């Protein structure tokens, strides 16, 4: 019985980052969105392929762990999960745009400071698309809008974040 529980626990967590897995994270965020307004954040690692190609996948894994650990530090402000590859999803419940901007800015700043401690990670940066959700909004619709905001950032220079305009 304990082996089954251990296996289930492993399925619920991303082994590399320690964050909830995609399925578990998306389910938890969708559930939270039923009862809370807030901000859905679609975050993407910039230049991961370059790091993997030049320094190897261990360097790429280190930068993913760095971001995962950083997002875990903000677990009181948001629920985060790793979607897979270089993509992450966060939900910040009951937060206004100003406080969200402060938290995202702090995450970006800490990420940039910490990556500088490893010369192989200098090329890494993060981009994020944000969408303000109302109680009961469709997870899929909010996800699509956050993704569109991320796409805007990626098309306009990366290493930044943007709110999707309603």
Look at residue 11 and tell me if it is in a domain. no
Q: Which residues of 64-99 are buried (b: 16+ CB within 10 A; e: fewer)?
A: bebbbebbeebeebbbbbbbeebbbbbbbbebeeee
Q: For residue 165, what pLDDT band results from cuts at 50, 70 and 90?
A: confident
Domain assignment of residue 10, yes or no: no
Domain-embedded: residue 9: no
Helix (H, G, I), strand (E, B) or coil at 86: coil
Query: Which of 3-7, 8-12, 63-67 is predicted least confidently?
Result: 3-7
What residues are annotated to the active site?
A: 86
Q: Does the residue 142 lie in any domain?
A: yes
Residue 22: pLDDT over 90: yes
Pairing between β-strand 79-84 and β-strand 87-93 as defined by DSSP bridges: antiparallel
Q: Fill in the DSSP letter of residue 13.
A: B
Tell me whether residue 8 is in a domain. no
Global pTM value? 0.93
How many domains does the structure of the chain reveal?
Answer: 1
What pLDDT does residue 9 have? 58
Asked whether residue 123 is assigned to any structural domain, the reply reads yes
Task: Note the pLDDT of residue 139.
Answer: 98
Q: What is the pLDDT of residues 29-47, one digit of tens each?
A: 999 999 999 999 999 999 9
Q: In CATH, what number is assigned to the domain containing residue 79? A: 3.30.70.270
CA distance 79 to 91: 5
Task: With cut-offs at 50, 70 and 90, classify the pLDDT of residue 8.
Answer: low
Can you give the residue range of the structural domain that contains 35?
19-163
Q: What would the two tokens of residue 139 be?
A: 């997870």
Residue 2 covered by a domain: no
pLDDT in tens, 82-120: 999 999 999 999 999 999 999 999 999 999 999 999 999
Is position 27 within any domain? yes
């Amino acid at each position: 019985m304990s082996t089954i529980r251990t296996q289930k626990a492993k399925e619920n967590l991303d082994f590399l980052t320690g964050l909830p897995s995609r399925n578990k994270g998306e389910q938890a965020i969708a559930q939270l969105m039923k009862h809370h307004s807030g901000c859905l954040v679609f975050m993407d690692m910039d230049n991961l392929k370059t790091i993997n190609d030049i320094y190897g996948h261990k360097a790429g894994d280190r930068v993913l762990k760095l971001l995962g650990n950083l997002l875990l530090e903000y677990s009181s402000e948001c629920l985060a999960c790793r979607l897979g590859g270089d993509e992450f999803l966060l939900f910040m419940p009951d937060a206004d745009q100003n406080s969200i901007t402060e938290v995202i800015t702090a995450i970006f700043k800490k990420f940039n400071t910490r990556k500088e401690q490893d010369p192989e990670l200098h090329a890494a940066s993060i981009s994020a698309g944000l969408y303000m959700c109302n109680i009961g909004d469709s997870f899929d619709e909010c996800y699509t809008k956050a993704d569109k905001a991320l796409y805007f950032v990626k098309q306009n220079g990366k290493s930044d974040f943007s709110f999707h305009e309603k």
